[in-house]
Amino acid sequence: MAQRVLVTGGAGLIGTNLCRRLLDDGQQVICLDSFFCGRRENIEDMLGNPRFELIRHDVVQPILLEVDHIYNLACPASPVHYQFNPVKTVKTSVLGTIHMLGLTKRVRGRMLQASTSEVYGDPAVHPQKEEYWGNVNPIGTRSCYDEGKRVAETLCFDYHRQNQVDVRVVRIFNTYGPHMMRDDGRVVSNFIVQALQGEDITVYGDGSQTRSFCYVDDTVDALVRMMEQTDTPGPVNVGNPVENTIRELAELVIELTGTRSRIVERPLPDDDPVRRRPDITRAQKSLGWQPSVSLRDGLMETISYFQKLL
């Protein structure tokens, strides 16, 4: 039987692709978004579907709905956006999660909280396992996002222990793909847009810092598997265990776009993690999941998307 599923932040990168996947799976989908980061154009092709509903709403304010499952994705996820109004970012993570957990409790449903690899901060343990508590600066320029997401996890497990609320927590590592914003400040979209426009590609630091890039379809598949399984509330890392330097990413984007852009270096931002790679053993065991899309193939799809967008 079809579930009635609420996706907060449903017009963002992951939310858009998740809504589309849930519709393909036969679910009834409510997309909730304030359009601070999400874009209406991302979900316009779904508006004619009778099983899809759009609500413009900010999760900082409570809302009453009748749903079975909630994917709580609402929160600015790129430095450009979460540092624009850091107090609002904290409110979105904390108050938004409280409101969604309260809704889940009332309807006796199930909620998946989209947490982040940023809860590990600049990790002193590599690769990062879920048991690692992190190395986070609580008063830095990234703290509004890092600590907001950490408190959101705390709330999930306190609601679970105190009120038996059915929760799932995933820690999402760098995700990219179609429906990224061109100006969101994320490294993949930055590099692709700069390359397609023939501009210099900006690398912060010397480009030796590493990230693990997961294509959005793989991330969405993990979220759906996490919601449907009943073995663990999490947290579970969701990301690609293949580690790449930022310079390697820039060079691959140059190759795939055929641009003549040069790589230029700029000072490294405060609290920027030096290394980031998930240990996905738990996801492999609990979800039967691991990424299937290579960085090269995923970048080709993303470049194609931006070529049409630009």
Query: Quick one: CA dihedral 307, 7, 59, 116, positive or negative?
Result: negative
Report the C-alpha gap between 163 and 208 in whole angstroms: 45
The residues assigned a catalytic role are: 145
User: What DSSP assignment string belongs to 157-224?
Assistant: HHHHHHH--EEEEEEE--EE-TT--TTS--HHHHHHHHHHTTPPEEEETTS--EE--EEHHHHHHHHH
280 contacts 175 by C-beta, under 8 angstroms: no
> Rounded distance, CA 290 to CA 268, Å?
31
Q: Using CA atoms, how far apart are residues 88 and 265, in angstroms rounded to an integer?
A: 31
134 token code pair: 């992190």
Q: Is 122 helix (H, G, I), strand (E, B) or coil?
A: coil
Q: Which two tokens stand for residue 177?
A: 């793909």
**Count of CB atoms situated within 10 Å of the CB of 22:** 26
Tokens standing for residue 205: 């630091």
